[in-house]
Amino acid sequence: KQEVTQIPAALSVPEGENLVLNCSFTDSAIYNLQWFRQDPGKGLTSLLLIQSSQREQTSGRLNASLDKSSGRSTLYIAASQPGDSATYLCAVRRGGSNYKLTFGKGTLLTVNP
């Protein structure tokens, strides 16, 4: 059974700091990994999608890496801003015939002005 863990559960940083969020998964037989952002009371917004054959993806100030063999992914946020404050979730989609997403419980990020 796939398990996804996100560390830390919460993180508070001053504005302008670069930061890294971690995601680990137990079963490396994944199809892809996706990072999402969730604002309070809202749905999920997709940030980056990394296919199992890729090592990293970048979008603006965000960079996500994937090391399938070690079961790890990181989300790097450069020059953090108060508007980045949200819960960040990673999810893995397994291969084979079952395509469901398994989510971590998220990292609550607070960026202080």
Residues lying near other proteins in the complex (CB under 8 A) are found at 31-32, 34, 36, 41-46, 49, 51, 89, 91, 93, 98-106
Could you tell me the smallest distance in angstroms from the CB atom of residue 25 to other proteins?
14
Of 49 and 62, the one with the shorter C-beta distance to other proteins is 49
Could you tell me the smallest distance in angstroms from the CB atom of residue 30 to other proteins?
11
Q: How far apart are CA 65 and CA 42, in angstroms?
A: 26
Which residue has tokens 């999920």?
Answer: 44
**What letter does residue 83 receive in the DSSP assignment?**
G
Phi and psi angles of residue 50, each rounded to the nearest 5 degrees, phi first: -120, 125
Q: How far apart are CA 51 and CA 31, in angstroms?
A: 6
Of 23 and 80, the one with the shorter C-beta distance to other proteins is 23
The per-type count for the chain, helices as H runs and strands as E runs, is 0, 11
Of 26 and 99, the one with the shorter C-beta distance to other proteins is 99
Could you tell me the smallest distance in angstroms from the CB atom of residue 78 to other proteins?
22
